[in-house]
Structures are given as structure tokens and as C-alpha cells.
């Protein structure tokens, strides 16, 4: 249902459940007649329509229309001149939270959060239902919420700047400063901040945004927002896909103009240096100095990835996790692409799997420099304590390694005695189908041994072990897949042979 109200019209709000018409409509908050008084302003649809209270009669509020406009079902109602006693969580809200738990939701966007206690109440319901991994995004939509935003952020996973309702509750001219302050606070704390409402509002009706709207999106990006959000533009607008495409273009162009070096310098000055922050700072500094293609974070809970995102590095951040829910939740973190990897016990295996999945997803390619950060021991949330620099290598083949070393050298494929008599040079990596007694004196002078013969008790494996030479055995078709003269890197802990040099 849609109605158009003209200035001067008489209009009634009732808490009775009725089908509305041009004279009277129903509101869901039953105590509204008790909270308002004669002269109170009632704002509908983010303040587009303004009513003034003339008389209160039982469950009915009789008003006159001050600013006219179109209204329809489900539009928001604000009463900026009254202290609304609406609880932070209604019975319907509690039912919705339980629905979120039952359906494995990733986030709860909590409306009209005014105090930290409002967020704690949501957490209480989650914990009573044995749920500890749904993230809470607190929507700041009132002056009270704005006043308490620092304390609210401490118990939240992020903030949504809901500028529509906030702009009704506080003066319009205060909204831009409030937005910048909230973004700065969230950046300081390393938590998600979403800038929302009316970003491309004209695209509800028009195929192109206004220049002011384009500036609004760009300025939110420059201020440091984690996300920009569309609402009416995609929910009920005429050009939903075009709105998303337009916003993406504005964001990409704006991000390409950012001086990330200056941002990193400021972050280092502003953020206190805990162990995690020190790892994050060092990772981002190394990535900048080496012009890395990406930072790969192996993470169980998303903690490591968020610790890196906080410093706003120029390169892509890849969040590699074994948990589908964490993968989805990382999608709203600044600068992050998330991937799902298989579980692993050893740190080197986790790093290898994360790098390979990143390559398969097209985020990195052989030859790229990547910075890898993770926690030791594997799987312990919040234990970020390792940084590794690697050049991405294409995995040529795999086998079973002896030891945990990684060596790089020139491959020499040995198919006959002539190969090692004529072509062997000290420091070569010998590739063969199996070890013979004649090869032993050359293996002693080699950097590594790669053999097709399988088994820990095979002559090849025992020879490598006795000589203390890095060895990978059980490599199927090694002498076909590896060519003499190629520079290769063998990682014994992973059992992988990669093309090219891998730097640590």
C-alpha cells in the first residue's frame, strides 16, 4: 500500500492492527501513544515525511502533516523529541536471533543499539543457545548510540553507520562528522565499519547517480570504511544491477588513488604494539618493501586476517581457512578475499595448501612474491607469530620427503651412467628412477635427491637418509616431468617439487 500525504492533512497513527488508508495507519510499537506528547515530531521514512502531534486519544495519535510525501508499508518511524522506551530486543527480535542460530547465519545486524548492554543481551541469547560464532554488527541510529559508540564497539564485531535513521535523530549537518569519527574509531580498533543508507539514492529512480552521490561513496572509501552498502537502490529500485556496478566502479577508481604507504605509516604510529599488531605491522611493511602480490593468512577464526586488514596494505589479503563460516564472514573485511582449504597438522603443510589454493583461485601466479603469516601451533586461534616470504612456484610433482628442509638447485636427470659422468656439477639436484651404487659418490656432492622408487625402506630412501641429503622418494614419472637444467625447489616437509626459486 502506498499513500501520498499533503502538508496540512490530518492523519492518525494507531497501535491497533488495521488495514491502513489515507486517514489512518497502524504502527507496530504499542507504547508509542505513551511516549509522545502534544507537539512531538514524528518522522517517517528517514524523515521524508514529518508529522506533528495534535492530540492523543487512547491508542490513537492524531497528527497534522508538516512535510508531505509518499509513505508505504514497513517504513521506519522516528520520534527525535521523545525518549522512546522501546526495549533493545523485542520478543520478535529474540525469535529472529534463534532463527539466525538455527539457519547458520553469519551476522546479526542489530538495530537501534543504544548501549553496550543491548549488545551483551544479544550475546547472552547466542551463548544460551551454544552459539559463539555469529558476528554482531551494531547499527548506530540514535544520539544515545552515537554517544556510547566507543563502548558499544568494544562488545561488537563491527559498526554499521545507518545514516538514514541517524540523520533523523541528530542534525543533518552533524552526520558527516559522526561518520568520519566512527570510521576512525573502527579503524583504530581493527573492526569492520559499514557505511550505509542513501549512498546512491537517486538510482532508485534514475540510471545514473548524482555527482554528489559519487562523491559520497568515494569519501567513505577515503575515510577508511570497510564496506559501502546499498539498500533501497537494490531492494526496490528500478536499476539494482546498475547501482551495484556503479558503486563498484567508484570504489575501484577511488582505491587506486589512495596513498597506502602514508596510511601504513600512520597506522604504525597510531596502533599500540601488541604481539599480534607487531606481526601485522611487520607483515604489511615487508609486503610493501618487496612489492608483494599478496599476503596469505592461514587462519582458524579469522583473527590473523583481521590483524593484517587493520593496517590497510596495498596488496591483496587472502584469508585461507578450513571453516566455511569463517570464509563467509571474512568477505566484509577490508581488502580480503577468502578461500577454503583442507585441514592440516603441520605449519608447512598449511602454508603449502594455502598457497596452492590461492594459485588455483587465480589470486597469485608462479613468480609472484607473497608474504605468508600464520600461527604456530596450527589451529590455535589468536596465535599469529610467523612470517614467511616466498616466490610462488608451480608444483611439478609430489612424493614423500625425508626431513623438513627446502633446497633450490639445477636439476640433473640421471637415466644412465653417462648422465652423471658427463654432466654432473656439484650442487645439482639429482633426479632418477632409482639409486645405484655408482651414483653414491655423486649424491654425496649433490644438493638433493629426487627418485621414483617408493618406500622408506627402499635403497634410494636409505641412501639419502644415511648421507644426510634432502630426499623426496616415490615421485611418479619424475624423470619425465623434470628436465635437466631446470631450476627447481624441493620441499621435503611437503614432499613437493616446484618450478623455480622459492625464497624464504
Cα separation of 204 and 231, whole Å? 10
394-398, strands of its sheet edge to edge:
394-398, 496-499, 487-491, 406-414, 429-432, 448-451, 471-473, 400-402
Q: Which residue reads 600464520 in cell numbers?
A: 374
**CB 240: neighbour CB atoms within 10 A?**
16
Q: Among 440, 412, 407, which residue's Cα sits nearest to residue 428?
A: 412
Residue 32 grid cell:
508509542
pLDDT digit of tens for each residue in the chain (504 aa)? 788 999 999 999 999 999 988 899 999 888 899 999 999 999 998 888 999 999 999 999 999 999 999 998 888 888 887 777 777 788 889 999 999 999 999 999 999 899 999 999 999 999 999 999 999 999 999 889 999 999 999 999 999 999 988 988 888 899 999 999 999 999 988 899 999 999 999 999 999 999 999 999 999 999 999 999 999 999 989 999 999 999 999 999 999 998 887 887 777 667 667 777 888 889 999 999 999 999 999 998 898 899 899 999 999 999 999 999 999 999 999 999 999 999 877 777 788 889 889 989 999 988 789 999 987 666 666 567 789 888 887 788 999 999 889 899 999 999 866 667 788 999 999 999 999 988 999 999 999 999 999 999 999 999 999 999 999 999 999 999 999 998 899 999 889 998 876 654
- CATH for 399-499 is 3.50.30.10
Give Cα separations from 58 to 28, 62, 275, 501 (angstroms): 15, 10, 61, 81
Give φ, ψ of 364 to 5 degrees. -135, 165
Domain residue ranges in the chain: 2-78, 91-255, 260-392, 399-499
Q: What is the pLDDT of residues 308-352, one digit of tens each?
A: 999 999 999 999 999 999 999 999 999 999 999 998 777 777 888
Cα separation of 427 and 443, whole Å? 9
Q: Among 6, 4, 11, 3, which residue's Cα sits nearest to residue 42?
A: 11
Superfamily of domain 91-255: Phosphoenolpyruvate-binding domains (3.20.20.60)
Which CATH architecture group holds 2-78?
Beta Barrel (2.40)
| Domain 260-392 = CATH 1.10.10.60 | no
Amino acid at each position: 500500500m502506498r499513500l501520498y500525504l499533503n502538508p496540512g492533512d490530518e492523519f492518525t497513527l494507531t497501535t491497533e492492527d488495521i488495514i491502513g488508508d489515507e486517514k489512518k495507519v497502524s504502527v507496530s510499537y504499542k507504547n508509542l501513544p505513551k511516549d509522545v506528547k502534544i507537539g512531538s515530531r514524528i518522522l517517517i521514512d528517514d524523515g521524508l515525511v514529518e508529522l506533528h502531534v495534535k492530540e492523543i486519544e487512547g491508542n490513537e495519535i492524531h497528527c497534522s502533516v508538516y512535510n508531505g510525501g509518499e509513505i508505504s508499508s514497513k517504513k521506519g518511524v522516528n520520534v527525535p523529541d521523545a525518549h522512546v522506551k522501546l526495549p533493545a530486543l523485542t520478543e520478535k527480535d529474540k525469535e529472529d536471533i534463534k532463527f539466525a542460530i538455527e539457519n547458520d547465519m553469519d551476522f546479526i545486524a542489530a538495530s537501534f543499539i543504544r548501549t553496550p548492554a543491548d549488545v551483551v543481551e544479544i550475546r547472552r541469547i547466542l551463548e544460551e543457545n551454544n552459539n559463539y560464532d555469529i558476528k554482531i554488527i551494531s547499527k548506530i541510529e540514535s544520539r544515545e548510540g552515537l554517544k556510547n559508540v566507543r563502548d558499544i564497539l568494544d562488545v561488537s564485531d563491527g559498526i554499521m553507520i545507518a545514516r538514514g535513521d541517524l540523520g533523523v535523530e541528530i542534525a543533518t549537518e552533524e552526520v558527516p562528522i559522526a561518520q568520519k569519527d566512527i570510521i576512525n574509531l573502527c579503524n583504530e580498533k581493527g573492526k569492520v565499519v559499514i557505511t550505509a543508507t542513501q549512498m546512491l539514492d537517486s538510482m532508485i529512480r534514475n540510471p545514473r547517480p548524482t555527482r554528489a552521490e559519487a562523491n559520497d561513496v568515494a569519501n567513505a572509501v577515503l575515510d577508511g570504511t570497510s564496506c559501502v552498502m546499498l539498500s533501497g537502490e537494490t531492494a526496490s529500485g528500478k536499476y539494482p544491477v546498475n547501482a551495484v556496478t556503479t558503486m563498484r566502479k567508484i570504489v575501484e577508481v577511488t582505491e587506486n588513488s589512495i596513498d597506502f604507504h602514508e596510511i601504513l605509516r600512520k597506522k604504525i604510529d597510531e596502533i599500540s604494539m601488541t604481539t599480534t599488531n607487531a606481526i601485522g605491522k611487520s607483515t604489511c611493511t615487508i609486503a610493501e618493501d618487496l612489492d608483494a602480490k599478496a599476503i596469505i593468512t592461514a587462519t582458524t577464526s579469522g583473527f590473523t586476517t583481521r590483524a593484517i586488514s587493520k593496517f590497510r596494505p596495498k596488496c591483496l589479503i587472502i584469508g585461507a581457512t578450513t571453516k566455511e563460516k569463517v570464509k563467509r564472514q571474512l568477505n566484509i573485511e577490508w581488502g580480503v578475499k577468502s578461500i577454503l582449504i583442507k585441514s592440516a597438522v603441520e605449519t608447512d603443510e598449511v602454508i603449502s595448501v594455502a598457497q596452492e589454493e590461492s594459485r588455483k583461485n587465480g589470486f597469485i601466479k608462479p613468480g609472484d612474491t607473497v608474504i605468508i603469516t600464520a600461527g604456530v601451533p596450527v589451529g590455535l586461534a589468536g596465535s599469529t607469530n610467523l612470517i614467511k616470504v616466498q616466490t610462488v612456484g608451480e608444483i611439478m610433482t609430489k612424493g614423500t620427503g625425508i626431513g623438513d628442509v627446502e633446497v633450490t638447485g639445477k636439476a640433473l636427470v640421471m637415466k644412465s651412467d653417462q648422465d652423471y659422468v658427463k654432466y654432473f656439477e656439484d650442487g645439482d639436484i639429482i633426479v632418477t628412477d632409482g639409486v645405484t651404487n655408482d651414483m653414491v659418490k655423486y649424491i654425496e656432492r649433490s644438493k638433493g635427491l629426487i627418485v621414483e622408487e617408493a618406500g622408506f625402506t627402499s635403497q634410494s630412501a636409505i641412501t639419502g637418509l644415511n648421507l644426510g641429503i634432502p630426499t623426496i622418494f616415490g615421485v611418479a614419472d619424475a624423470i619425465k616431468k623434470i628436465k635437466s637444467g631446470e631450476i627447481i625447489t624441493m620441499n621435503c616437509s611437503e614432499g613437493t617439487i616446484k618450478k623455480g626459486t622459492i625464497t624464504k
